[in-house]
Chain A
């Protein structure tokens, strides 16, 4: 089937999509957007987190057809014009990235939190990132990165 959807601001047509296919598969395998990661395909890890009509969702649990006519923003869409988003900068600076597999999902989830809550408490950060697993960092550096990005956003 054909899926027409707006991804990172551009309307795109994708043909030969299998009806049971996930949005994640379509993005990675058919649209050349491998930023969103495929780790568990069961909603547990959050590495596939993308925005669907402005809400963070697990792309592995959205059928590609459910994105028809909707707006999808992936981690690739956050780095406008190739410059890193302040959330991404903060992840780099704080050492919140080790193997990097969880990073795209965490960046989207953290981005969403800071859009909604400019000065999140630690509890709010933990709650917002509860759906994203990281096997490497132990999370402390990730919390540091979100705090740093929040500080800079509030001061800017």
Chain B
């Protein structure tokens, strides 16, 4: 096994192209577990930890460009106001030690249906920026990035450069069910974002389908009902039956399985409850902000 340590983004892309047998290594919180337990033996590790470009973040035309190598602790410490949903999800990841090392790029690379970054990225309408030495950069809407259980749209010669996330125009919420507060792989998770500027709702479901996914029908249903009732303008309280109906539609978008962490039935039930509560919290935040 080789240990490749590029110190620039250009070199990282060149090495990725030359060595299809290399496994990118960011925080190592997924990769090292697999290596320690002999589940993976790549021809090389491509350590991205010395590529400064990957640890940067900044504004990019109304969007936050979050380098793939920014750890969760960095998001929590610096981007809570601009990316509230992702910051909330980041606070629930693993433990302090895991949040210091683990990155959103790594979460996308692993593409686990249980990854906590995915629901808020879906709800916010994020775009994944990937690149290769041969073909340059392309942008993939995050909903199209997940292609199967632990599979993503990356080509073998590509790396994830960054995630482009529209700065929040309204409240965002994240909710996750597990057996305790720390160190929990979600049994099910839900994120929502209110986009009052364009009168739309964003959603993201975790751990309740082969891939993270949105609940498009629930989004249009709620946005339409809010319109019809004039609630976007009046900012009156969200009627409980409406929140509950939204929760049911979110659950209807999922297709969970039974596994050691929970049953499919529990996942559906918990999703509808989380969606009802999270959308109510977000709506209350919007009313308070008015």
Contact = CB atoms under 8 A, between A and B. Distances in A.
A127 B45 contact: no
B28 interface: yes
Given A20-B35, A41-B37, A42-B36, A63 B97 contact: no
Nearest to A132: B95
Contacts of A61: 27-29, 32-33, 98, 101
B1 to A, nearest CB: 4
B28 A109 contact: no
B41 interface: yes
Interface residues of A, number: 28
Contacts of A56: 96-97, 100
Contact of B36 (A22, A46, A128): A22
B29 A19 contact: no
A128 B2 CA distance: 35
Contacts of A46: 95, 97
Nearest to B26: A66
A58 B99 CA distance: 11
A49 B96 CA distance: 11
Contacts of B181: 130
B183 interface: yes
Given A42-B37, A43-B33, A60-B32, A66 B49 contact: yes
Interface in B35-78: 35-37, 41, 44-45, 47, 49
B3 A22 contact: no
A109 to B, nearest CB: 7
A5 to B, nearest CB: 13
B76 to A, nearest CB: 12
Nearest to A50: B97
A132 B98 CA distance: 11
B94 A131 contact: yes
B110 interface: no
A20 B41 contact: yes
B128 interface: no
Interface string A112-138: 000000000000000110111000000
B45 A65 contact: yes
Interface in A47-101: 49, 55-58, 60-63, 65-66, 68
B95 A19 contact: no
B96 A65 contact: no
Contact of B28 (A41, A49, A63): A63
Contact of B29 (A43, A49, A55, A130): A43
Contacts of A42: 33, 36-37
Given A61-B101, A65-B3, A66-B25, A130 B33 contact: no
Interface in B181-203: 181-183
Given A41-B36, A131-B97, 18 more contacts: A19-B3, A20-B41, A22-B35, A43-B33, A43-B98, A46-B97, A56-B96, A56-B100, A61-B27, A61-B98, A63-B3, A63-B25, A65-B5, A65-B47, A109-B96, A131-B95, A131-B96, A131-B182
Interface of A: 1, 18-20, 22, 41-44, 46, 49, 55-58, 60-63, 65-66, 68, 109, 127-128, 130-132
8 cross-chain pairs, A with B, having the tightest CB-CB distances, nearest first: A131-B95, A130-B182, A19-B3, A41-B36, A61-B32, A65-B3, A19-B1, A42-B33
